[in-house]
Amino acid sequence: MKHLKTRFGLAGLLLIALVTGGCLIVSGTFIVVADFDFSTFDQDYHYSVDVTQESDWQDHKDNIDFVDAVGFQMDFTNNSGSAVTFDVWIDTAGAPGSTPGAGATKIIDGLSIPATPVQSHMSYAQSLSYITGLDRLKALAKEGKFEYYGHASVEGTFNVDSGKVIITVSGSK
């Protein structure tokens, strides 16, 4: 019985030490979602992404260690009668102009938007398979702000109806 108590006591102390240590390192993975509000110029789309005012970002902004993933959700209307190609670039927040400059990084190259159905949707999961330049995208996303530029192969009969950016971050306290 004495040995049993000793063993339980030791095991309990070990568990308390581990749990306490874990509590001191309160970290987690969180997802921040922000809507786009594009400015449209003929075939070009521009948005200054800023997630820093989102509540989830505000809660963890001082302790963001790593960006696990960045993706987009977008809805399109294509009345052109044929597939439209859509490209996306990103650049540092505050980069001048409504079209991508020399310092911009292309992250979606040649996304094909079909003519049927007229309205189509690119999910977050689908966007992850299209994105390139991931390192730069994650680096800019970690700042919470970046410039987003889109370019469609046609104008007038094609429109980006809506978009969201979804950023998964890991942070600790």
Partner 1 sequence: MKKAVLVLVCLAVLVSAAQAVSPEPRFGVGAFAGLNIPVIQKDQKSGTEFGFRARIALLPFLVAEPNFTMVKWGKPDAVDGVVLGIDGSKVTSFGLDATLGFAPGTKGFKPFGIIGIGSYKVKNDDTKYDQSNIGFCGGIGFGIGVAPKIDIDVRGKAVVIPQTDGGSKKGLSLTAGLGYSF
Dihedral of alpha carbons 56, 74, 150, 106, sign: positive
Out of 128, 145, 151, 155, the residue judged to bind partner 1 by CB under 8 A = 128
Taking CB under 8 A as the rule, does residue 27 contact partner 1?
A: yes
Token output for 144: 């919470």
Find the binder of partner 1 among 73, 78, 105, 159 (CB under 8 A).
Answer: 73
Work out how close the CB of 50 gets to partner 1 at its nearest, in angstroms, rounded to a whole number: 16
Q: Which two tokens stand for residue 51?
A: 């997630």
Coil/strand/helix, residue 123:
coil
Among the listed ranges 41-49, 99-107, 111-119, 163-171, the one in contact with partner 1 (CB under 8 A) is 163-171
Regarding 19 and contact with partner 1 (CB under 8 A), the answer is: yes
Q: Which stretch binds partner 1 (CB under 8 A): 44-52, 63-71, 91-99, 151-159?
A: 63-71
CA 144, CA 49: separation in Å to the nearest integer?
A: 8
Residues 6 or more apart whose CB falls under 8 angstroms from that of 31 comprise 56, 166, 167, 168, 169
Sequence-separated (6 or more) residues with CB below 8 Å from residue 84: 76, 78, 112, 113, 115, 152, 153, 154, 158
Residue 18 in the binding site for partner 1 (CB under 8 A): yes
Smallest gap, in angstroms, from Cβ of residue 155 to partner 1?
A: 28
Contact residues toward partner 1 (CB under 8 A) are 3, 7-8, 10-12, 14-15, 17-19, 22, 25-31, 33, 65-66, 68-69, 71, 73, 123-126, 128-129, 134, 164, 166, 168, 170-172
